Amino acid sequence: MKVGLILRNVGRLMLSGRSAGTRMVMMVALLSAIGSGGCVTSSDGFVKTDAPSPSANATATYATGSADVGGSDDLANAAAKYATPATPGPSAYRVGPQDVLDISVFNVAQLSRISQVADDGSINFPLIGELQVGGKTTRQIEADMAGRLGARYLQSPQVSVIVKEYNSQRVTVEGEVRKPGVYPIKGGTTLLQSIAQAEGVNNDTASSTALVFRNTGSGRSVARFDLDEVRAGRAADPWVQQGDTIVVEASQGKATFNNFTKMLPALGFFRPI
C-alpha cells in the first residue's frame, strides 16, 4: 500500500460528513495499515489489513563478507551455526585485560585475593608469581593454578576463580534502543540480554528485526534475527561475542504512523468549507 494513496484517503475522510468520533476511529485504522504487512483496499477506498505472512527465514539469515543479508540456499544452516556456538554460557568466557578476578584457595585464606588482569594478560599470585590468564576460561585458570600450587606447596589444592568485573569483552548496541552504547559481555550473554542492557527497544519506532555484525576469520559477517520469534521461544536467543555490533532496525511504518497521530488533534478542527 503506497503512502500517497493513504494520504488521499486521509483527506477524503477528513472532508466526509461522518461524525468526529467515527472519523477518528476510521483514521486510526487507516493509518495503522502503514505499519502492517499485506493490505487490501475495500470497495469504499479505505484500507483493511491482514496479518503478514511468516518469513521463510524466521530464525535468522546469515551472510559472509557483506552487510547484505539474505540470498543463498545455505543461509539457514549458516545462521543456525552462527546462533549456537559450540561452547555457550559462562564457562566459554575467556578472561582478558582489565578483567577483575576473585581468587580463593580452599582452607588457605592467606592466598585469597582480588586481582586485576594486566594489559599483557597476566596477574601476580603468591607462591606462583606472574601467571598468564589472558585468553583462558576460569576453569582453565583454576586447573593451572591448582597444578602449580600442588606441585610444590599444597596437597590437592582446591582453587576457585570467579570473574568479579567483566571489562575486556564488550558489544555495541545501536539503532532503535532506548540507550545505545557499548556494554560488557558478562559471561554467557545473549542477544536479548544485550538489548536489555540498552534498556530495551524503543516501542514507538523499532521493528522486530535485529542485525548482529561480527568479525570472523573470513571477514565481516552479519546475521538477522526476528526478535518476536526469539521472545516467543520459536527461535534461539543467540550468544553474542566480543566485538559484535547489534543494530535494532527502525520500522518505517511505526514512524509514519506516530507522525500522523501527532497531527490528529489539529486535524480534528478542520471542517468542510
> Is 123 in the same domain as 214?
no
Q: What is the CA radius of gyration of the chain?
A: 27
The last residue of a domain, from among 135, 165, 195: 165
> Is 181 in the same domain as 245?
yes
Match 582478558 to its residue by C-alpha cell: 96
Number of CB atoms found within 10 A of residue 129's CB: 10
* Pair 207, 176: CB distance under 8 Å: yes
Confidence at residue 189, expressed as pLDDT on a 0 to 100 scale: 87
Q: Which three cell numbers stand for residue 203?
A: 516501542
List pLDDT tens digits, range 18-42: 555 445 545 544 444 444 444 433 3
Count of domains observed in the chain: 3
* Pair 30, 13: CB distance under 8 Å: yes
Of residues 118 and 74, the one with the higher pLDDT is: 118
Span 205-228, average pLDDT: 88
> Is 99 in the same domain as 130?
yes
| Residue 44 lies in domain | 3-52
> pTM here?
0.55
Of residues 173 and 70, the one with the higher pLDDT is: 173
Confidence at residue 204, expressed as pLDDT on a 0 to 100 scale: 86
Confidence at residue 85, expressed as pLDDT on a 0 to 100 scale: 42
* Pair 240, 191: CB distance under 8 Å: yes
> Is 71 in the same domain as 201?
yes
Residue 265 lies in a domain: no
List pLDDT tens digits, range 83-136: 544 334 445 788 999 999 999 999 999 999 999 999 999 999 999 999 999 999
Q: Which residues pair with 173 in a beta bridge?
A: 181, 246
**Rounded CA gap, 5 and 272, in Å?**
20
Residue 6 is inside which H or E element, if any? helix 3-14
> Is 100 in the same domain as 160?
yes
